[in-house]
Amino acid sequence: MTFELNLPEQFNAADYFVDRNIREGRAEKAAVLCEDRTLTYGQLRDGMNRFGNAIQSLGVCIENRVALLLPDTEIYPQAFFGAIKTGAVPICLNTLMRPKDYLYYLNDSRAKVVVVDATLLPLIEAVRHKALFMEHLIVANGPAPAGDLAFDDLIAAHAPELEPAPTSPDDACFWLYSSGTTGRPKGTIHLQHDMVYASETYGRQVLKVGQDDVCFSAAKLFFAYGLGNGLYFPFSVGATAAYLPDRPTPMAVYGAIARHQPTLYFGVPTLYGAMLAEDGDLGRVRLCVSAGEALPPDILKRWQDRFSVDILDGIGSTEISHICISNRQDAIRAGSTGTVVPGYEARIVDENMNDVPAGQIGTLLIKGDSIAACYWNKHEKTKKTMIGEWINTDDKFFQDKNGYFFYVGRSDDMLKAGGIWVSPIEVEACLIEHPLVLEAAVVGWPDEKNMIKPKAFVVLQKGHKPSNELETELKTYVKTTLAHFKYPRWIEFLEELPKTATGKIMRFKLKPSVEDDAPSETL
């Protein structure tokens, strides 16, 4: 389905997402709730403008990059949109990386300014002497070292008025870094219109987000999924965003829900499973969203039974901006990723890029105008991934005769047992249905003949301990539930699975040989 925005030739996303709310009379309305603090749209506008003036005074010009290494607090949207309003390009950096990763990001992007939270400052200090292009370090939520700048003092010294830069809908707007299991991380360049497109398609037409909503995302703002959930979806309609600066443990999430009373909650499957194992309630939440990996049907059913609230499973990617295939509240198909979001198109193709028939597994291609323009300084990778108007997601799917899409795994997660393809997603979902299993991850593992077979890593529910008998029971459970060849030949019990900040399982860390780089974030 085609969808056109019809934006003016001169367009600035900061003006659209912040200043427009002032023009529409929301200056006194809460834009952000964080811990015991409230930031109104008027205060957000002033902080955004002050930050924009501040970085211009430091010599930041249109298209210069500004790196943000910040937890989710009210400072984030001020710095993010303040940079955009000047025509500069903010880069949202993962707060869980190592110093060597930040050195790569800073030198690859050539960011002139870095805004870092005081708690994360040591990670930059460790490599700043090797940062070739960084000229200024701005420290938020704490004192700045001698020679650096304190965020609060810096913006207080500048005016709260700022005209938006004369950018176009197709100017660079922000970057997110997307990594792979091989190769270096890729700077994904998004344009001024991308956030608007995602808001007008998935935000309005699937979530039906309105100005009375309060959006709370366990996925952090530095992820594409979290950036939409907690920043541009609510701001697109004058709604409110609720932030949790800390790690999104089940109890921390329940606490934030009790404090801020959100109406829309965004999580990932492993977090939903963990929340079901703890006491808590959802308050005013009217709808939940899941992305990052396939939502097991058992978790969906138990969530609906306990809370009487639906979870919409969907998929997108860093490159696509946000979710492009999703279930709908009136048409949820358990185990399915749903149908195509209005404004996007999807194809499932074979290795020769020919469409495959319904029911056959292939690679998902997506078309839609929120897709990134390119990867920074990665020409060959751009050509292989962004094929004309389409992007190759490298996700394996099949589509049923009713148009529902079913995710079977990343191309590099799929494995063959006895010459037949096995989806780790299907085996994991089966294991999670067992009453003693809290979480599971399945990867390919070589046997004594170096043949790849399924291996499961399992986390048990509280109060239960691993045993040889339980291992046999779980293997038998899968054998009798799924086709025999899909059962895990080995089961290893763990206290916890390796996960991203959003709770997405990092299967690559469980494989026999591990690349040093983290995999791409699929929404």
Domain boundaries, the chain: 13-191, 194-410, 416-510
Question: pLDDT by residue (tens digit) across 171-207?
Answer: 999 999 986 544 678 999 999 999 999 999 999 999 9
At 475, the amino acid letter reads: K
The answer for residues whose C-beta is within 8 angstroms of residue 123's C-beta and 6 or more apart is 69, 97, 98, 99, 102, 116
CA distances from 422 to 399, 417, 427, 455 (A): 17, 7, 8, 11
Mean pLDDT taken over the chain:
93
Q: Let me know: does 438 contact 298? Beta carbons within 8 Å.
A: no
Q: Which two tokens stand for residue 50?
A: 């002050």
Mean pLDDT of 440-466: 89
* 90 DSSP 8-state letter: E
Task: Return the minimum-mean-pLDDT range out of 107-111, 495-499, 517-521.
Answer: 517-521
From CA 470, how far away is CA 474, in angstroms rounded? 6
Q: Let me know: does 231 contact 76? Beta carbons within 8 Å.
A: yes
- Exposed/middle/buried for 180, CB within 10 Å: 0-12, 13-18, 19+? middle
Q: Is the pLDDT of residue 1 over 60?
A: no
* 119 DSSP 8-state letter: G
Backbone angles phi, psi at 499, to 5 degrees: -140, 160
At 510, the amino acid letter reads: L
Confidence band of 215 (pLDDT split at 50, 70, 90)? very high
Question: pLDDT by residue (tens digit) across 270-329?
Answer: 899 999 999 999 999 999 999 988 898 999 999 999 999 999 999 999 999 999 999 999
Mean pLDDT of 426-439: 93
From CA 268, how far away is CA 316, in angstroms rounded? 13
Question: pLDDT by residue (tens digit) across 473-507?
Answer: 999 999 999 888 899 999 999 999 998 766 678 88
Q: Is the pLDDT of residue 522 over 80?
A: no
Q: Let me know: does 383 contact 375? Beta carbons within 8 Å.
A: no
Question: pLDDT by residue (tens digit) across 117-174?
Answer: 999 999 999 999 999 999 999 999 999 999 999 999 999 999 999 999 999 999 999 9
pLDDT attached to residue 506? 83
Q: Let me know: does 92 contact 118? Beta carbons within 8 Å.
A: no
pLDDT attached to residue 402? 93
Query: Global pTM?
Result: 0.87
How do strand 386-387 and strand 113-117 relate by DSSP bridges? Answer: unpaired
Mean pLDDT of 409-430: 78
Going 30 to 249 to 271 to 221, the CA torsion angle's sign is positive
First vs last Cα of the chain: how many Å apart? Answer: 21
- 515 or 443: which carries more pLDDT confidence? 443
Q: If we measure between CA atoms, which residue out of 287, 196, 186 comes closest to residue 236?
A: 196
From CA 165, how far away is CA 85, in angstroms rounded? 6
pLDDT attached to residue 409? 80
Q: Is the pLDDT of residue 520 over 80?
A: no
From CA 89, how far away is CA 64, in angstroms rounded? 6
pLDDT attached to residue 517? 40
Question: pLDDT by residue (tens digit) across 223-271?
Answer: 999 999 999 999 999 999 999 999 999 999 999 999 999 999 999 988 9
Q: Is the pLDDT of residue 450 over 90?
A: no
Would you call 406 helix, strand, or coil by DSSP? strand
Q: Which two tokens stand for residue 135?
A: 């000229």
Mean pLDDT of 390-407: 94
Confidence band of 4 (pLDDT split at 50, 70, 90)? confident
Would you call 259 helix, strand, or coil by DSSP? helix
pLDDT attached to residue 513? 62
How do strand 240-243 and strand 264-267 relate by DSSP bridges? Answer: unpaired
CA distances from 96 to 67, 109, 165, 222, 236 (A): 15, 18, 32, 10, 28
Q: Let me know: does 66 contact 87? Beta carbons within 8 Å.
A: no
Q: What is the DSSP string of 127-185?
A: TGGG-SS--EEEEESSPPPTTSEEHHHHHHTS-S--PPP---TTSEEEEEEE--SSS--
Domains 13-191 and 194-410 belong to one CATH topology: yes
How do strand 345-349 and strand 362-367 relate by DSSP bridges? Answer: antiparallel
Q: If we measure between CA atoms, which residue out of 433, 464, 436 comes closest to residue 299?
A: 433
From CA 17, how far away is CA 81, in angstroms rounded? 8
Q: Let me know: does 441 contact 270? Beta carbons within 8 Å.
A: no
Confidence band of 515 (pLDDT split at 50, 70, 90)? very low
| Biggest CA-to-CA distance, the chain | 70
From CA 140, how far away is CA 100, in angstroms rounded? 22
From CA 483, how far away is CA 480, in angstroms rounded? 7
Residue where the block lists tokens 């920043």: 231
Decide yes or no: CATH 3.40.50.12780 for domain 194-410.
yes
Which CATH number among 3.30.360.10, 3.40.50.300, 3.30.300.30, 3.90.1010.10 corresponds to the domain 416-510?
Answer: 3.30.300.30
Mean pLDDT of 71-83: 98
Would you call 253 helix, strand, or coil by DSSP? helix
- 96 or 51: which carries more pLDDT confidence? 51
Q: Is the pLDDT of residue 356 over 70?
A: yes
Span 13-191 CATH architecture: 3-Layer(aba) Sandwich (3.40)
* 118 DSSP 8-state letter: G
Question: pLDDT by residue (tens digit) across 123-136?
Answer: 999 999 999 999 99
CA distances from 123 to 148, 288, 463, 469 (A): 15, 34, 38, 46
At 378, the amino acid letter reads: K
CB-CB neighbours of 473 under 10 Å: 13
* 269 DSSP 8-state letter: H
Q: What is the dihedral of CA 102, 383, 83, 10, to 10 degrees?
A: 180
Residue where the block lists tokens 């992305």: 291
pLDDT attached to residue 183? 60
From CA 435, how far away is CA 119, in angstroms rounded? 40
Instruction: Tell me the Cα Rg of the chain.
Output: 23
Q: Which two tokens stand for residue 208?
A: 């039906």
